[in-house]
């Protein structure tokens, strides 16, 4: 099978395949949204479970395969698949989501041209809401999402944060820039020495691809990301002139600080992505948004936890202060007690509502938002 089936081992328990304990040489693997039964490298049978991703596979002696399955409109679900007759049994859902599917957008994977003769990939979600249709004479705004890692990948699972925007009139493009997992080793290695270059180029090219094909409004292109994706967001705004607004969720602003003070597991991660530190310190400075604020011309909102040990809150504060000093509309939202990634439901809700509120003000459109959100989101330099 000439496919990449694994993921980076950021977490324990990653198991994209499992062998049949009752039949040596037989195994089941998750690939291209399907479960496939193989024997000695030869495909025997494919199972369409109704889901598009299958994780933590376990091949039992009973002839059933157990796994967690999900799709763009279905939550993670524990299922079993009988390899003899293909019968799928839903055992338990991870949570109950009582939302009509008429509000869910299903993605289409796109491939597009990017810099240096390369190609990149993204999952494209159209604006979808069963109760509304966009004006015939207008194109929708676009939100490009830059995933974290940076050598991670987009996901095909249900992302309520994506559906939040698509159900409110945004198109969303979830980019698997060069260096992402899921497209083979050669593609994965393309980010070597190129973090801050290819991820930025590919996010910009993705937005321009949709704009050129008249799928989105070229004057309403936005971008967001968290952690490493927040870095890509900041870099896009610092070094390019494509996006009209952005949102950084605990994004990396200072690459040198990240190299000097990070956890043991990723202690030499940046040597491959940027260059050996401190020997190549100049590259870290050149690619750090915090040292290139002069390049910022577009409004941005920062969401940051006060207890973040990975990206200290002073990075967001320094970025905000510098952008504010330039007279660019900007906002900083500090969540007390939050760390690298928000855990409290009220803060997650505020981050979503606050981002939409910010875009609505910058792009000049009306948004249906909860009462009081304007009290939580103060926009400096906004007229």
Q: List the chain pLDDT tens, one digit each, 383 residues.
A: 456 777 767 667 678 889 999 988 899 998 777 889 999 989 899 998 999 889 899 999 999 999 999 988 889 999 999 999 999 999 999 888 889 999 999 999 999 999 999 999 999 999 999 999 988 899 999 999 999 888 888 888 889 999 999 999 999 999 999 999 888 889 999 999 999 999 999 999 999 999 999 999 999 999 999 999 999 999 999 999 999 999 999 999 999 988 887 666 677 888 999 999 999 999 999 999 999 999 999 999 999 999 998 888 999 999 999 999 999 999 999 999 999 989 999 999 999 999 999 999 999 999 989 999 999 999 999 98
Contact indicator for 107, 95 with CB cutoff of 8 Å: no
Structure tokens at 243: 């996006």
- Give the 3-state secondary structure of residue 284: helix
Which residue is it, tokens 């959100």?
A: 373
> CA triplet 165, 168, 171: central angle to 5 degrees?
55
Strands (E), 24-73: 26-31, 34-39, 42-47, 53-59, 64-71
H or E element, residue 373: helix 373-376
DSSP string, 334-346: EETT-BSB--SHH
Bond from prior residue into 150 cis (ω within 30 degrees of 0): yes
CA distance 179 to 8: 12
Q: Rounded to whole angstroms, how far apart are CA atoms 1 and 35?
A: 13
Instruction: Please give the model's pTM, rounded to 2 decimal places.
Output: 0.92
Alpha-carbon span 238 to 222, nearest angstrom: 14
Tokens of 270: 């940046």
DSSP state of 153: -
User: Sheet holding 107-113: strands in order across?
Assistant: 107-113, 119-125, 171-176, 142-146, 221-226, 245-249, 300-305, 330-335
21 contact partners, CB below 8 Å, separation of at least 6: 59, 60, 61
Residue 152: how many CB atoms within 10 A of its CB?
A: 19
Contacts of 209 (CB under 8 A, 6+ apart): 110, 112, 113
Q: Dihedral through CA 304, CA 288, CA 182, CA 25, nearest 10? A: -90
């Amino acid at each position: 099978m000439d496919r990449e089936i694994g993921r980076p081992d950021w977490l324990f328990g990653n198991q994209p395949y499992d062998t049949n304990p009752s039949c040596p040489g037989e195994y089941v693997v998750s690939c291209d949204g399907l479960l496939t039964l193989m024997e000695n490298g030869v495909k025997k049978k494919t199972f369409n479970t109704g889901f598009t991703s299958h994780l933590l596979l376990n091949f039992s002696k009973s002839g059933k395969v157990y796994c967690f399955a999900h799709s763009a409109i279905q939550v993670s679900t524990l299922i079993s698949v009988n390899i003899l007759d293909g019968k799928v049994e839903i055992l338990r859902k991870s949570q109950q989501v009582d939302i009509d599917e008429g509000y869910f957008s299903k993605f289409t994977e796109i491939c597009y041209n990017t810099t240096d003769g390369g190609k990149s990939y993204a999952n494209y979600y159209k604006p979808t809401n069963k109760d509304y249709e966009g004006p015939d004479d207008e194109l929708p705004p676009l939100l490009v999402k830059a995933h974290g890692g940076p050598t991670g990948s987009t996901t095909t699972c249900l992302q309520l944060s994506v559906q939040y925007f698509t159900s409110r009139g945004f198109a969303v493009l979830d980019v698997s820039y060069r260096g992402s997992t899921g497209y083979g080793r050669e593609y994965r290695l393309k980010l070597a020495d190129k973090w801050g270059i290819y991820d930025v180029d590919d996010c910009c090219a993705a937005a321009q691809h949709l704009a050129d094909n008249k799928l989105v409004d070229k004057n309403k292109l936005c971008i967001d990301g968290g952690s490493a994706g927040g870095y890509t967001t900041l870099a896009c705004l610092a070094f390019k002139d494509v996006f009209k607004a952005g949102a950084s969720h605990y994004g990396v602003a200072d690459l040198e600080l990240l190299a000097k003070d990070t956890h043991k597991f990723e202690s030499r991660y940046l040597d491959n992505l940027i260059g050996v530190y401190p020997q190549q310190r100049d590259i870290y400075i050149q690619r750090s948004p915090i040292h290139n604020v002069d390049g910022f011309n577009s409004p941005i909102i920062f969401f940051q936890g006060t207890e973040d040990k990975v990206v200290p809150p002073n990075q967001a504060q320094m970025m905000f202060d510098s952008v504010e000093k330039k007279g660019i509309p900007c906002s900083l939202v500090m969540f007390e007690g939050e760390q690298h990634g928000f855990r409290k439901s009220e803060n997650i809700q505020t981050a979503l509502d606050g981002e939409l509120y910010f875009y609505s003000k910058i792009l000049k459109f009306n948004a249906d938002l909860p009462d009081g959100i304007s009290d939580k989101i103060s926009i400096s330099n906004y007229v």
